[in-house]
């Protein structure tokens, strides 16, 4: 018996929501659409019940905050961000974030539907039925790849600046942090981008953190509050800081285990680590480094 119950809203309300989402998706599919103008117009109507131009007349600062051209994201302050790619997704990330603050975004039914519509226009790849709850954060969005039926719960942080792949049916719980960049211990501006890979059927449970460059094997489970610093094998249940496998799920039906073959997460092409700022001065002269405590 499934434990998730469908919870429909009144039919007429759902029709109205679906019509609005369909119109928005159509406009976003048109490459000639000015995404910045579209987003500020939609937000002006939803938040202030009037066209953007009228809002700008009577409440200039309210209008100012709805136009993504007037705001900056943290990612835009980093050299690692591809400004051309980010410019395409920025207004949509602003729409996503701003609607999260509204009743439309806080309701599961409309919030999930809005984010599902926006996902293919923001992410690098999206499979079927992405399900995002409210207040999820991304660094750039355009470097995130999702398989089918991925679920991401409230307040998760998906740092995709170095590339983040999440496989089919994986679930990311509340307050999880997945990173794909790291800083040199002696010089924080010395950044390394490391692609992070979450396999298929993985569960990363609440408040866990996954550091950049890690691969979490298919069907693994990461216990609550764990900090994952190294690759985790398929089917492992990994706990603690640093996360270590304490048990393995027994899966007699796993074709890869049966055939003694590597699992798909172990054969996934990995991007090499990259330095977004290769010109960073090489200050690590002899005599600098770390020593045992
Ligand atoms: C990983 C997890 C599933 C283990 O559950 P379990 O198999 O029932 O394990 P138990 O509760 O019997 O605990 C076994 C041992 O591991 C310890 N332990 C359990 N969870 C731990 C964790 N997250 N970190 C460190 N140790 C943990 C227990 O204290 C116990 O230690 P002991 O043998 O010394 O007494 C559970 O800890 C967890 O993280 N659950 C997250 C809930 C979840 O699914 N969230 C997703 C919802 S969206």
For residue 223, the CA-to-ligand 1 centroid distance in Å is 6
Helix, strand, coil abundance in the chain, percent, nearest 5: 35, 20, 45
Q: Report pLDDT for 64.
A: 98
User: Residue 78's CB: how many other CB atoms inside 10 A?
Assistant: 17
Across the chain, what does the average pLDDT equal? Answer: 95
Q: Report pLDDT for 82.
A: 96
pLDDT-based confidence at 83, cuts 50/70/90?
very high
| CATH code for residues 124-267 | 2.160.10.10
Q: Tens digit of pLDDT for each residue in 112-161?
A: 999 999 999 999 999 999 999 999 999 999 999 999 999 999 999 999 99
CA distances to 30, 87, 182, 252 from 37, in Å: 14, 13, 35, 54
Q: Report pLDDT for 281.
A: 64
Q: Residues with beta carbon inside 6 Å of ligand 1?
A: 153, 173, 205-206, 221, 223-225, 237, 239-240
For range 84-112, the mean pLDDT = 97
What is the atom index within ligand 1 of the atom nearest the CA of 237? 1
Ligand 1 binding pocket mutation candidate from 156, 224, 225 (most atoms within 8 A of CB) = 224
Domain edges within the chain: 124-267
CA distances to 48, 85, 189, 253 from 90, in Å: 22, 9, 24, 43
Residue 40: name the closest of 31, 58, 30, 53 by CA: 53
For residue 97, the CA-to-ligand 1 centroid distance in Å is 33
Q: Does residue 205 contact residue 152 with C-beta atoms inside 8 Å? A: no
Which position has the higher pLDDT, 9 or 184? 9
Element spanning 246, H or E: strand 244-248
d(CA 151, CA 137): 14
For residue 240, the CA-to-ligand 1 centroid distance in Å is 10
Q: Report pLDDT for 285.
A: 67
Q: Tens digit of pLDDT for each residue in 239-284?
A: 999 999 999 999 999 999 999 999 999 988 889 999 988 777 666 6
- Any idea which of 24-33, 200-209, 222-231, 257-266 has the lowest mean pLDDT? 257-266
What is the atom index within ligand 1 of the atom nearest the CA of 247? 7
Q: Tens digit of pLDDT for each residue in 43-57?
A: 999 999 999 999 999
pLDDT-based confidence at 24, cuts 50/70/90?
very high
Q: What is the CA radius of gyration of the chain?
A: 21
Ligand 1 binding pocket mutation candidate from 225, 239, 246 (most atoms within 8 A of CB) = 239
């Amino acid at each position: 018996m499934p434990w998730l119950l469908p919870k429909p809203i009144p039919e007429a309300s759902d029709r109205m929501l679906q019509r609005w989402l369909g119109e928005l998706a159509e406009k976003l599919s048109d490459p000639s659409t000015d995404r910045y103008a579209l987003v500020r117009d939609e937000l002006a109507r939803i938040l202030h019940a009037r066209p953007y131009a009228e809002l700008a007349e009577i409440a200039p600062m309210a209008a100012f905050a709805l136009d993504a051209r007037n705001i900056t994201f943290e990612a835009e302050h980093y050299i690692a961000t591809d400004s051309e790619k980010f410019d395409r997704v920025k207004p949509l990330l602003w729409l996503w974030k701003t609607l999260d603050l509204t009743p439309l975004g806080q309701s599961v039914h409309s919030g999930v539907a809005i984010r599902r519509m926006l996902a293919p226009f923001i992410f690098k790849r999206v499979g079927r039925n992405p399900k995002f709850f409210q207040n999820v954060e991304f660094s750039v969005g355009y470097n995130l790849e999702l398989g089918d039926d991925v679920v991401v719960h409230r307040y998760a942080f998906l740092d995709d600046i170095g590339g983040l792949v999440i496989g089919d049916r994986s679930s990311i719980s509340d307050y999880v942090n997945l990173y794909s960049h790291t800083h040199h211990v002696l010089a924080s501006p010395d950044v390394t981008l490391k692609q992070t890979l979450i396999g298929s059927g993985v569960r990363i449970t609440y408040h866990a953190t996954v550091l950049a460059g890690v691969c979490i094997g298919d069907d693994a489970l990461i216990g609550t509050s764990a900090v994952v610093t190294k690759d985790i094998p398929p089917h492992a249940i990994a706990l603690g800081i640093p996360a270590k496998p304490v048990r393995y799920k027994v899966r007699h039906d796993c074709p890869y285990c049966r055939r003694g073959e590597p699992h798909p997460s172990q054969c996934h092409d990995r991007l090499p680590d990259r330095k977004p700022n290769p010109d960073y001065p090489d200050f690590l002269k002899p005599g600098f480094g770390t020593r045992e405590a």
